[in-house]
Amino acid sequence: MAALAQFEVRKILRMDSYDPVPLILFAGLILDGTVRAGMTITFELHRRQSVRREILGIEYVDYVSADETLIGLLCAENDPDEAELYSDCCPAGTILEIDA
């Protein structure tokens, strides 16, 4: 099944100021399609192992050091090291698939 949208990652961050659970922010650009809360980000973590994360919300992100405004996809965090792991697996420029 083809992805409903494609998202180019620029940065992945942990946002621990949200209650009741910290969030992971996938900051980047929507390249194709429409993205809404409730959709799912899918990407390969390791060979034959993929990750699916539900999008809880979408926000604009001012990336001041790069002088650009990005789209932020917010997902719940399961582990404090999760954002760092995802950032290692999805460096800037990685294209993620977004599905219903």
Q: What is the pLDDT of residue 36?
A: 96
pLDDT tens track for 38-53: 999 998 887 888 899 9
Q: What is the pLDDT of residue 57?
A: 94
**Straight-line distance from the first to the last Cα atom of the chain, in angstroms, rounded to the nearest whole number:** 11
Joined together, the tokens standing for residue 99 give 């599905």
User: 44 lies in which domain range?
Assistant: 5-90
Q: What is the pLDDT of residue 82?
A: 92
Asked, for residue 14, whether it belongs to a domain, the answer is yes
What is the CB neighbour count within 10 angstroms for residue 86? 23
Q: What is the pLDDT of residue 64?
A: 73
Phi-psi domain of 89 (left: phi exceeds 0; alpha: psi -120 through 50; beta: other) = alpha
Residues of the chain where predicted confidence (pLDDT) is lower than 50: none
Asked, for residue 70, whether it belongs to a domain, the answer is yes
Return d(Cα 45, Cα 79) in angstroms, integer. Answer: 15
Q: What is the pLDDT of residue 30?
A: 96
Q: Into how many domains does the chain fold?
A: 1
